[in-house]
Amino acid sequence: MEQTIKSDKSSENSNILYTVAMRGLVAFPKMVMHFDVARDKSVAAIEKALKDNGKLFLIAQHEAYVDDPKASDLYKVGVVVDIKQVLKLPDNIMKVLVEGVYKANLIHLMDDGNALRAEVKRTPTYSRAKYDEVEAEALMRSVKDIFERYSSFFPKMPKELLTSVMTQDSPVKLYETVTFNCNLNYRDKQTLLEETNIINKLSVLFACLSSEVEILELENLINEQTKSSIDKGQKEYYLREQMRVIQEQLGEDEAEEAFAYINDIMDLKIDEKSKEKLLKEADKLAKLPPSSQEAFVIKNYLDTVLDLPWGKYTKAKLSLEKAEAVLEKDHYGLKKVKERILEFLAVHMLNPEIKGQIICLAGPPGIGKTSIAKSIAKAMGRKYARVSLGGVRDEADIRGHRKTYVGAMPGRIITALQQAGSANPLILFDEIDKLCSDIKGDPSSAMLEVLDSEQNNAFRDHFIEVPFDLSKAVFITTANNVSAIPAPLLDRMEVIELPSYTAEEKFHIAKEHLVPKQLKEHGLKASQLKIDDQAIHDIIQYYTKEAGVRTLERNIASLCRKSAKRIAAGDAKRITVKGKDLKELLGIYKYLPDLSSKKDQVGVVNGLAWTSVGGVLMPLEVLVMKGSGKIEVTGSLGDVMKESSKIAVSYVRSVAEKYGINPEFYKENDIHIHAPEGAVPKDGPSAGVTMTTALISALSGIPVRADVAMTGEITLHGKVLPIGGLREKTMAAYKADIKTVVIPEANKPDLEDIDDAVKNAIEFVSVENLTEVLDIALTK
């Protein structure tokens, strides 16, 4: 038998070779491959082939499961290979490395019970028939494309392979490189092997690869989906497992702290990304020596973050009647303000999701802005927190310092949330007009982000680092001076002006609110201390000079304190404070009635000014002396007032003759203009009419009526321009017993806002030019 084989060896056409039936594998000419064999017949065939000429015939089985294949179980086309290497493994398994030599048809299979042999006939791999080059080119492109997609599923595939495929311009080489390197189904491979026409080979290859890619894509999708569902379900398990591992590595005690944190973080109502970031910190902590500075920083950080009211919302319980009752109970008067606030609450009630409504309560200090904000919080059923912005000049005040700074802290917004203990509190930004900006950054831009409903759902504090949702919070701001609020901030707010109180209103506020409140705070019963009406009136008149009621409240508190001391010491059981007792209890009178002149005088005019404590009556004095034309201005007058004085002089020169004034007065005289109470700074253009009137009176010697007060800006030609703060100013005139107030014609509509008490007591004269003012004010 051996002879026969040997004798056949020389024959090119027909040959008898030891044969291995392949399960699920197909070899190709030129292809190097390795495979394992375990069946006795296969092992024997290889051993014998090695002893012979080292050549072997490989032919695939139709079905991989057939153990002892007959000819009918095998394909008809196989490949003759050279055995390159054989490795014997235990259990009679053999690893074989072969290289394909040529394609051959199976003519006849022989089985001697020991090994398989076959008579084979060489057959060409490729037919020599001509093919259409354009078609080949098109097919090559398709194959390259699909191969590129295929390779994307195998990140470990060598780059060179991809390059060599993509740059290949021979159809045969392309076919071979792709076929040898792709993991195709053995049936597909068999088809490719049997096919000889290169065009057909390429198109079969393309079809096989396409379906392979499709399967891979589907597989990927399924993987992703299962992975994400596992992610959700298993993440917690995984993290806890990780915890356990850390615990094992560290000592119990050291790790315990870190796990407490991890447990708390896991329970936090916070987005996944933030949770991961916090877990990372806890992880870091677990690996640090517990007494290290860094561990301390992380602990402080985690404590602060965990302490924040993540996802803690108070349930809004809003009813308009209740809101109205709360506002009414806590505050006297303020009718218009209460109405505006109820409107605001009504909108909130109808649309709780409404965003970007920010109220700015504007007005002088002590007028009740803070306490109204507290009442709104109460009415809305929200927690209350206050952030004072006065003098804040560093952005870090708002946003905090990075935690790596020594002594770093979160900013005021986060601190307020901590205080409030809820993620939907009402936050009061007090004195937003007092924000300053300098080189340390602009805090107002940070405030913009806080107040902007589009951005504040992910507010970032530098210290906290993970975003906090502020969008459910309600913001209220307060300001003394609306014009000092940075414009972009003001844009976002709805301003509600709180006017200053009349003495009458202050009296009611004191009697109905401040006295009971202070009694309670000092532990006194209403029966123990009485402050009679005259005493309250006198406190208002002689001990306070303010638009609001803060000093009034302080004085009442002082009375309570002193009385409490006497009662506690047993000196008295019941005390009644009367007007005449005040000097003894509160000291000498601090303020006398406004400095209005009670007598018609030359060169003295009652002006009306608007200051931070509300309106004041401000007499203006002008003195003319022989001199060289100097103008002196005193009494803390600002630049605008100084300019007004120059306008006044120019105007007076133009009308000098009409009032019997020497037109050369400005050359021969020095003029001194003064506003008493020199320590109080005053500025603004609204003293124009006052100054001019005083100047003309001083130069002409005509006295000015003492019961007239005035306000208004002037032009060089003597026109009277409108001014602001009319309500406050007229209040001051009313307090000073003024009978006539001259106002600019353009301010006439503002008269509507003025208190009835004031309107009844004062005659208002509206004017367009200075001549009209002088007609009223000068006694002749």
- Is 686 an annotated catalytic residue? yes
Which is nearer to ligand ADP, 375 or 700 (by Cβ)? 375
**Helix 171-181 / helix 159-166 crossing angle, nearest 10 deg:** 150
CB of 539 to ligand ADP, least distance (A): 14
Other Cβ atoms less than 10 A from the Cβ of 180: the count is 14
- C-alpha–C-alpha distance, residues 732 and 608, integer Å: 8
Which is nearer to ligand ADP, 147 or 332 (by Cβ)? 332
Which is nearer to ligand ADP, 366 or 614 (by Cβ)? 366
Which is nearer to ligand ADP, 461 or 505 (by Cβ)? 505
Residue nearest to ligand ADP (CB): 368
Which is nearer to ligand ADP, 327 or 762 (by Cβ)? 327
Question: Across 480-583, where does the E strand assignment appear?
Answer: 493-497, 529-531, 575-577
Other Cβ atoms less than 10 A from the Cβ of 512: the count is 12
CB of 431 to ligand ADP, least distance (A): 9
Reference 308, options 411, 414, 400; nearest CA is 414
Distances (CA, A) of 541 to 504, 510, 678: 11, 13, 21
CB 737 within 8 A of CB 717: no
Angle at 523 between CA 517 and CA 529, to 5 degrees: 75
Question: Cα 179 from chain centroid?
Answer: 56
CB of 259 to ligand ADP, least distance (A): 47
CB of 368 to ligand ADP, least distance (A): 3
- C-alpha–C-alpha distance, residues 638 and 591, integer Å: 24
Which is nearer to ligand ADP, 366 or 619 (by Cβ)? 366
Which is nearer to ligand ADP, 510 or 618 (by Cβ)? 510
Catalytic residue among 41, 103, 189, 729: 729
Helix (H, G, I), strand (E, B) or coil at 497: strand
Question: Cα 486 from chain centroid?
Answer: 19
- Is 729 an annotated catalytic residue? yes
Which is nearer to ligand ADP, 367 or 762 (by Cβ)? 367
CB of 331 to ligand ADP, least distance (A): 4
Sheet with strand 426-430: strands edge to edge: 384-388, 426-430, 474-479, 358-362, 493-497
Other Cβ atoms less than 10 A from the Cβ of 139: the count is 23
Contacts to ligand ADP by CB under 6 A:
331-334, 365-371, 478, 509, 513, 548-550, 553
CB of 369 to ligand ADP, least distance (A): 3
CB of 374 to ligand ADP, least distance (A): 8
Task: Read off the DSSP letter of residue 471.
Answer: T
**CB neighbour list of residue 624: distance below 8 Å, 6 or more residues apart:** 603, 665, 669, 670, 671, 672, 698, 699
Angle at 538 between CA 533 and CA 539, to 5 degrees: 100
CB of 758 to ligand ADP, least distance (A): 18
Catalytic residue among 645, 686, 697, 700: 686
Reference 393, options 344, 358, 442, 357; nearest CA is 442
Q: Looking at the annotation, which residues are catalytic?
A: 686, 729
